[in-house]
Structure 1
Amino acid sequence: MEPISLEAALASFSQQWSPRIVTAVNDYDVRVAKVEGEHLWHAHAHTDEFFLVLSGELHIGLREPDGERTVILPRGSVFTVPRGIEHKPYAPVPTEILLFEPTGTLTVGDRHEEVPDHVDATTGHTLT
């Protein structure tokens, strides 16, 4: 029950697309991740996914009922992908993000493309 420095948490690892769990709120993990390049198309059938961009810029491709679009999140922006919507995060520059997801949620969702080698299919790693 001590404060957690997000700067220190992010400095404790270097892997891309491999989130670390910094704390929990009720049944949700608060995760931080370093990202660059493409993730993969995926969807979470039972939960929304919250993104906060701490540094850099995050693009999120969305496959919505009316077609595809991309939202661009500069530093300091938040966005929630609604449950069931296919999405594909992409960071054109090194980016740091914070996510809220129910504990046990896979980073690649319930439905997804083949997972590329640079994406860690995990429910989050504990900080060391």
Structure 2
Amino acid sequence: MSGEPANREPVDLAAKLASFGEHWSPRVVAGFNGHDVMVVKVQGEFVWHSHPETDDFFFVLKGRLTIRMREGDVTLLPGQLFVVPKGVEHCPVAEEETHLLLIEPAGTPNTGDPATAATKHAI
């Protein structure tokens, strides 16, 4: 029947996050209307980048994330989210290991440039 979910099991984000240790290497845990739903562990500073075609969604599950932007920084704590508008240059920074939920159109490079983007893995 059309419209039925292919998987009827809930996605356990904590278990997915426990399955890997690398930082800045997003893992796809589900698909949603042509978007990748991902978890990622981050620590330290990422690269300054922008996404000319799409907004960038960040939701903090654990830790603390600062999103540096030329117009000013935004700091997120667990349970908080922020959407960087498309085309806005930004640089995520986590002083401690931080766990994030990300949602973006499938195939979007995390650096905004396919040549420098991390490979996404489905788990």
Q: TM-score, normalised by structure 2?
A: 0.89
The yes-or-no answer on 1:61 pairing with 2:68 is yes
- Residue of structure 2 equivalent to 1:73: 76
Larger Rg belongs to: 2
Q: Establish whether residue 98 from structure 1 lines up as the match of residue 108 from structure 2.
A: no
Q: Distance in 1 between matches of 2:119 and 2:54?
A: 14
The question of 1:32 aligning with 2:39 is answered: yes
SS at match of 1:43: coil
Number of the residue aligned with 2:54: 47
Query: Within 2, Cα distance between the matches of 1:81 and 1:59?
Result: 12
Which segment is superposed worse, 103-112 or 40-49? 103-112
Asked if the contact 2:25–2:119 (Cα under 8 Å) also holds between the matched residues in 1, the reply is no
User: Percent of aligned pairs with the same residue?
Assistant: 50
1:111 Cα deviation (Å)?
9.2
Gaps of 5+ in 2: 1-6
Q: How many residues matched?
A: 116
State the TM-score, normalizing by the size of structure 1. 0.86
Aligned residues: CA RMSD: 1.6
- The runs of 5 or more residues in structure 1 that have no matched partner are 116-120
Deviations 1:11-41 (A, max 9, x none): 0100000000000101100010000000010
Please give the secondary structure, in 2, of the residue aligned with 1:18.
Answer: coil
Task: Give the number of the structure whose residues are more often strand, by fraction.
Answer: 1
1:43-94 CA distance string (max 9 Å, x none)? 000000111000000000112xxxx311000111000000000000000111
